[in-house]
């Protein structure tokens, strides 16, 4: 019984000290004038990102009396390193990255764009040597390089690392489609909704693969942030009075969608896409 009580007391003291240390850390950051960082996926250009997230940083600063600052990270290695080190209080990115942070106790999903995302892998109809998905092994496929979700979805369909497609990096999904038509790629990976819109007027491509659905782009917050502040951030971004700021973000990233509360249970298992990605094993 005595040992049990000692364990309980030690655990209680440890938890208390952890909370106190965290509060001191953030109090000292405020005192030293250090900004609370917001970052977003390098899938966006600097121009897109700053147009969207600098106003959000200002909005949150005014609402919380904290110094929020948006920081653009131009490449994946820098973004992954910052993510591993929990340098940003608020991150906006894809569901497999959110899933990894949840599983590693770093972040909690806060808000997501409505709707789901899924992807198609397509080929040109007249490319008679590509009959099924496995035929793309060894050939260039237009997609975003991992750890962007579309590149990972593509590689996940090829279990043998020496029998995989060669990813040809593209500017955007429209570029991927046109490069396929121009013969620079033997396949291309597009969001299913975009491909559906293209297909309405007919096209010269055929679908080889339709992926599962994933949650849409998501805001996650550092798991150490006190719950009242998490709630304040969420309430501010969901406020109907702030649609001039959040609406601008939606129009850039996913027109027609809306911000909704997110739950951890929606992201279970998606980190498995990263199992072969060197930066987040």
Determine, yes or no, domain membership for 6.
no
- 221 plus 206 within the same structural domain: no
User: Residue 106 has what DSSP assignment?
Assistant: S
Task: Note whether residue 20 is domain-resident.
Answer: no
In DSSP terms, 38 is beta-bridged to 70, 90
The answer to whether residue 21 sits within a structural domain is: no
- Asked whether the beta carbons of 117 and 213 are under 8 A apart, the reply is yes
Continuous segment of H or E residues that includes residue 118: none
Asked if 172 and 220 sit in the same domain, the reply is: no
CB under 8 Å to 15, separation ≥6 — which residues? none
Separation between Cα atoms, residue 46 and residue 136, nearest integer Å? 33
pLDDT of the chain, 281 residues: tens digit per residue: 444 334 333 444 434 433 443 444 454 445 445 789 999 999 889 999 999 999 999 999 999 999 999 999 999 999 999 999 999 999 999 999 999 999 999 999 999 999 999 999 999 999 999 999 999 999 999 999 999 999 999 999 998 888 999 999 998 999 999 999 999 999 999 999 999 998 888 789 999 999 999 999 999 999 999 999 999 999 999 999 888 899 988 998 899 999 999 999 999 999 999 988 876 76
Within-domain flag for 11: no
Radius of gyration over alpha carbons of the chain, in Å?
A: 22
pTM of the model: 0.86
Secondary element (H or E) of residue 155: helix 149-155
In 3D space, the residue among 175, 125, 145, 8 whose CA is nearest the CA of residue 76 turns out to be 145
Return the pLDDT at 162.
Answer: 84
Residues 127, 206 within the same domain:
yes
Q: How many domains does the chain have?
A: 2
CA 231 to chain centre: 21
Residue 253's closest CA among 115, 59, 113? 113
Domain that holds residue 139: 119-211
pLDDT for position 281: 63
Same domain, 100 and 220: yes
Residue where a domain terminates, one of 211, 232, 248? 211
Of 211, 228, 259, which residue constitutes the final position of a domain? 211
| SS3 of residue 40 by DSSP | strand
pLDDT value for 17: 38
Within-domain flag for 73: yes
C-beta of residue 189 within 8 angstroms of C-beta of residue 121: yes
Residue 97 and residue 150 in one domain: no
Q: Which of 163, 192, 211 is the last residue of a domain?
A: 211
Considering the domain architecture, whether residues 127 and 195 belong to the same structural domain is answered as yes
Give me the pLDDT at residue 18, please. 38
Instruction: Single out the residue of 249, 263, 167, 156 nearest to residue 211, CA to CA.
Output: 156
* CATH number of the domain that residue 152 is part of: 3.40.190.10
């Amino acid at each position: 019984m005595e040992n049990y009580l000692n364990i309980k007391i030690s655990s209680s003291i440890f938890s208390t000290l952890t909370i106190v240390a965290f509060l001191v850390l953030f109090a000292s950051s405020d005192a030293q004038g250090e900004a609370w960082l917001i970052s977003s996926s390098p899938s966006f250009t600097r121009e897109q990102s700053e147009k969207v997230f600098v106003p959000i940083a200002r909005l949150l600063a005014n609402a919380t009396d904290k110094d929020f600052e948006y920081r653009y990270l131009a490449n994946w290695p820098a973004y992954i390193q910052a993510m591993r080190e929990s340098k940003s209080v608020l991150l906006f990115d894809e569901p497999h990255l959110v899933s990894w942070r949840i599983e590693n106790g770093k972040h909690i999903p806060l808000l997501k764009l409505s709707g789901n995302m899924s992807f198609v892998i397509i080929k040109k109809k007249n490319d008679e040597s590509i009959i099924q998905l496995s035929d793309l092994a060894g050939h260039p496929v237009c997609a975003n390089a991992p750890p962007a979700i579309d590149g990972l979805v593509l590689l996940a369909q090829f279990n043998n690392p020496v029998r995989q497609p060669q990813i040809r990096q593209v500017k955007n999904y429209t570029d991927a489609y046109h490069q396929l038509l121009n013969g620079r790629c033997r396949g291309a990976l597009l969001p299913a909704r975009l491909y559906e819109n293209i297909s309405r007027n007919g096209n010269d491509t055929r679908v080889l693969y339709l992926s599962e659905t994933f949650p849409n782009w998501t805001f996650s917050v550092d798991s150490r942030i006190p719950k009242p502040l998490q709630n304040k951030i969420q309430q501010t971004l969901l406020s109907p009075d702030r649609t001039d700021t959040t609406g601008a973000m939606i129009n850039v990233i996913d027109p027609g969608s809306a911000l909704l509360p997110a739950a951890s249970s929606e992201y279970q298992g998606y980190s498995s896409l990263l199992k072969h990605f060197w930066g987040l094993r």
